[in-house]
C-alpha cells in the first residue's frame, strides 16, 4: 500500500476526534499531505521518541483516543517503548507501524533487522495485535477494531518502497509546530468526560 493511501484510509476510518502522533519521517509527510482535521503532533529529533510522546498524550487526554503512526525505523530505535506501553495504566492508544524496511530520512538504506516481525515483538510485550491488512478495505476494517476492546491495539502495515519524500525544510519550525499542536489540542478538547467532543476548525496543526 502506498503511504498516502494508508494515511487517507486511516483518517477516513478514525474520524476527526482522535489525537494523532506521527513519527519523524514518512508518516509525518504522508499525514501532512492529506490535511486531516485531527489535532496532530509531528515528531522531531531525536528519532525514536514519538512512541513515548504518544503514550504520554494517551495518558494525559484519557478517555480521548490517540493514534500513533509509527515508522518502523523510529520504532526500532526505541523498542522498549512497547514494554512501557504495555505496563502503563489503561489508555485508548492505537499504534500503526508503517513498515517498509528502510530509513527514508537517511536516503533509503536498509533497516537493521528489517525482516523482524514487529507484531510478534508487540505481542510478546503483551499488546493486542491486529492482523496486518493488505488492502485499503482491510485497513478500514482494522481501524474499526482498534477500540473494539479497551486499551492498546497494535497493527503493522506493509508500505510500498517509494521515493523518499524529502525536499527543503518544512513550512514551520519545531517550536511553531508544537505551539500549533497545543492550540489545536485545546480547541478540540472535550469540555467534560460526559460531553461529546467538538469538531473544531479544519486545520491540522502545522507541517512536519
* DSSP letter (8 states) at residue 202: S
Is cis: bond before 169, omega within 30 of 0? no
Reading the block at residue 32, the C-alpha cell is 501532512
**Averaged confidence pLDDT in the chain:** 85
Classify residue 18 as left (phi > 0), alpha (psi -120 to 50) or beta. beta
Q: Which residues contact 179 (CB under 8 A, 6 or more apart)?
A: none
Q: What is the DSSP string of 129-166?
A: EEPPP-SHHHHHHHHHHTTSSSS-EEEEEE--------
Per-residue pLDDT, 174:
64
The count of other CB atoms within 10 Å of the CB of residue 30 is 25
Of 141, 142, 164, 168, the closest CA to residue 153 belongs to: 142
* Run of H or E residues at 67: strand 66-71
pTM of the predicted protein model: 0.80
Exposure of 58 in the CB half-sphere (CA atoms within 13 A) = 27
Residue 203 pLDDT level (bands cut at 50, 70, 90):
very low
Per-residue pLDDT, 185:
80
* pLDDT tens track for 115-174: 889 999 999 999 999 998 999 999 999 999 999 999 999 999 999 988 765 554 456 656
Residue 75 pLDDT level (bands cut at 50, 70, 90):
very high
The count of other CB atoms within 10 Å of the CB of residue 140 is 15
Reading the block at residue 181, the C-alpha cell is 499542536
* pLDDT tens track for 49-60: 999 999 999 999
Burial of 71 (0-12, 13-18, 19+ CB in 10 A): buried
Mean pLDDT across 84-93: 96
Per-residue pLDDT, 198:
40
Domains of the chain listed by start with CATH number = 3-164 (3.40.50.970)
Amino acid at each position: 500500500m502506498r503511504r498516502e493511501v494508508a494515511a487517507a484510509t486511516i483518517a477516513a476510518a478514525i474520524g476527526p476526534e482522535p489525537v494523532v502522533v506521527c513519527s519523524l519521517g514518512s508518516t509525518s509527510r504522508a499525514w501532512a499531505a492529506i490535511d486531516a482535521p485531527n489535532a496532530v503532533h509531528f515528531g522531531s529529533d531525536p528519532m525514536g521518541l514519538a512512541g513515548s510522546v504518544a503514550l504520554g498524550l494517551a495518558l494525559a487526554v484519557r478517555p480521548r483516543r490517540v493514534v500513533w503512526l509509527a515508522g518502523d525505523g523510529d520504532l526500532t530505535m526505541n523498542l522498549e517503548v512497547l514494554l512501557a506501553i504495555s505496563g502503563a495504566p489503561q489508555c485508548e492508544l492505537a499504534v500503526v507501524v508503517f513498515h517498509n524496511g528502510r530509513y527514508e530520512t537517511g536516503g533509503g538504506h536498509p533497516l537493521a533487522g528489517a525482516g523482524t516481525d514487529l507484531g510478534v515483538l508487540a505481542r510478546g510485550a503483551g499488546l493486542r495485535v491486529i492482523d496486518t491488512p493488505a488492502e485499503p478495505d482491510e485497513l478500514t476494517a482494522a481501524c474499526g477494531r482498534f477500540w473494539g476492546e479497551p486499551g492498546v491495539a497494535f497493527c503493522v502495515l506493509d508500505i510500498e518502497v517509494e521515493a523518499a519524500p524529502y525536499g527543503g525544510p518544512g513550512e514551520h519550525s519545531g517550536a511553531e509546530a508544537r505551539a500549533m499542536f497545543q492550540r489545536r489540542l485545546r480547541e478540540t478538547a472535550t469540555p467534560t468526560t460526559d460531553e461529546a467532543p467538538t469538531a473544531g476548525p479544519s486545520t491540522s496543526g502545522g507541517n512536519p
